[in-house]
Amino acid sequence: MPHHNLQSALWPCLALACWLQTAAAEEPKPATPARPAVVIPVIERAPADIAASQRQRTRNAGTRVAAVTATPTAPVAEPAAPAAPAHSSEWAYEGENGPQAWAKLAPEYAKCGSGERQSPIDLRDGMKLDLEPIAFEYRPSGFKVIDNGHTIQANIGGWNAMRVMGRRFKLVQLHFHRPSEEMIDGRQFDMVAHLVHKDSEGRLAVVAVLIENGARQPAIQAVLNNLPLEKGEEMPAATNLDLNQILPENRRYFTYMGSLTTPPCSEDVLWVVMKQPVQASADQLNLFARLYPMNARPVQSAAGRMIKESN
Ligand SMILES: [Zn+2]
C-alpha cells in the first residue's frame, strides 16, 4: 500500500478495493457484466490509487482488469502497471467465457473451435473387438493435491504406468469432472476421474473412470482428505494413494483418438474409457459438488472417428 498524506482520506476506498480484490480471488467464475460497473466508480474516486489497485487486481484477477480497462470511462493503465496477458479472459464452464467461447479467448485455444477430433464424445456404435487388456502398473504412491480453479487434481509421484497398444505411459495426475464428460449411449454419470498419462515422447493417454452414486471410494477419499485451503497451492499428502482402488473390477473399455477436454484442447490424445463405472458415496459426490457443481465440457461430434470397444 502507498504511504502519503492522502492515505487516511483514501482509506475507505482502499478498504473497498481490498474487499473487491478478495471477492475476485475467491470468485471462480468470470466477471459478469455487472461487476465492472461496481469497480469503475471506486477507481474514479481515488485516482491516486489507481496504479496500486490495478497492480493488485492484475495479480489477483486478470479477467477483471481486462474488463475494466476495456471500458471507455476507465483510466488507461499507467506504464508501471504490468500489461494484462493476451488471454486474460479466463476460460470457464458457464457464462460468456464458457465452452462456446474457448476458441476465441486465446490464439493457442483455436483447436477448441476448429479441431475435428475433440473430446469428450458420446460413446456408441463402437467396433466390438477382443481388445488386449490394459496393463496397469499402479502402486501406492506419494501425491499432492491442488485446486487449480477448474477442478481438483492430484499430482502423482513415484512410478505408476500403464501399457496399451504397445506403448508404455507414465501416470502424471488425475482430476475430476462433474457430471461425467463422457457419455455411453447418451447416458451421463455423476462424475468421472481422468487419469492422465504421458509416454517418453510426450504423447498423452487418458483413462476415464466413470463414477456413480454408491459405496464410499477410498482413493477419492484420500484426495479429498488432502484438499488445500487455498486455490493454486499444492498440498503434499502425508499418506499414499493407491490408484488400483479407483479402477473398476471389469476392465473392458472403449478407445478412440481425441483431445484434451480443457483449453488448449490439443488433439492426438489416446482415450481409454472404462465401461464399468465405479462407485463413490453421496457424501463424496456432494463434497466435490460444493467446489465444482459443473465442470464438464459438452460432448463433441464423434465425426466418423473409429471407436473400438471390448467385447
Ligand atoms: Zn479431464
Domain ranges of the chain: 7-69, 111-310
- Average pLDDT (44-51) is 36
Residue 116 scores a pLDDT above 90: yes
Mean pLDDT of 107-111: 97
In 10 A of CB 96, how many CB atoms?
13
Contact 261, 120 (CB under 8 A): yes
Classify 99 as helix, strand or coil. Answer: helix
- Whole-number Å distance, alpha carbon 174 to ligand 1 midpoint, is 8
Query: What's this model's pTM, rounded to 2 decimal places?
Result: 0.73
- Residue 242 in contact with residue 219, Cβ under 8 Å? yes
pLDDT-based confidence at residue 4 (cuts at 50, 70, 90):
very low
Report residue 7: phi and psi, to 5°: -55, -45
Tell how far the Cα of 238 is from the centroid of ligand 1, in angstroms: 25
User: Rounded to whole angstroms, how far apart are CA atoms 248 and 133?
Assistant: 13
Write the single-letter amino acid at 271.
Answer: W
Task: Report how far ligand 1's centroid is from the alpha carbon of 131 (Å).
Answer: 24
On the question of pLDDT at 33 being above 50, the answer is no
pLDDT at 7 over 60: no
Q: 297 CA to middle of ligand 1, Å?
A: 9
Instruction: Determine the distance separating the centroid of ligand 1 and the alpha carbon of 262, expressed in angstroms.
Output: 7
Cβ atoms within 10 A of the Cβ of 141, count?
17
Whole-angstrom Cα distance, residue 275 to residue 273?
Answer: 6
CA 113 / ligand 1 centre spacing (Å): 18
193 CA distance to ligand 1 middle (Å): 7
pLDDT, one tens digit per residue, over 64-73 is 333 333 344 4
Q: What is the topology classification, in CATH, of domain 111-310?
A: Carbonic Anhydrase II (3.10.200)
Give 178 Cα–ligand 1 centroid separation in angstroms: 10
> Ligand 1 centroid to 296 CA: how many Å?
8
CA of 229 to the centre of ligand 1 (A): 22
Least confident of 60-64, 103-107, 134-138, 257-261: 60-64
Other beta carbons less than 10 A from residue 166's beta carbon: 6
CA of 176 to the centre of ligand 1 (A): 6
Q: How far is the CA of 187 from the centre of ligand 1 (A)?
A: 18
Q: How far is the CA of 21 from the centre of ligand 1 (A)?
A: 29
Ion ligand 1, residues whose Cβ is below 5 A away: 194
Instruction: Report CA(122)–ligand 1 centroid distance (Å).
Output: 15
CA 150–ligand 1 middle distance (angstroms)? 10
Q: Cis check for the bond before 107: say yes or no (omega within 30 of 0).
A: no
Contact 40, 71 (CB under 8 A): yes
List the single range of 62-76, 168-182, 270-284 with lowest mean pLDDT.
62-76
Distance of CA 147 from the midpoint of ligand 1 (Å): 13
Of the candidates 157, 205, 150, 200, the residue with the CA atom closest to the CA atom of residue 175: 150
- Ligand 1 centroid–CA 86 distance in Å is 24
Banded pLDDT at 243 (limits 50, 70, 90): very high
- pLDDT, position 27: 37
Residue 88 pLDDT: 53
Distance 92 CA to ligand 1 centre (A): 14
Q: For residues 88 and 149, which has the higher predicted lDDT (pLDDT)?
A: 149
The mean predicted confidence, pLDDT, of the chain is 81
Q: Please, is 214 exposed, middle or buried when counting C-beta atoms within 10 Å of its C-beta (0-12, 13-18, 19+)? A: middle
Q: Pick the closest to residue 254 from 277, 235, 237 (CA basis).
A: 277
53 CA to centre of ligand 1 in angstroms? 35
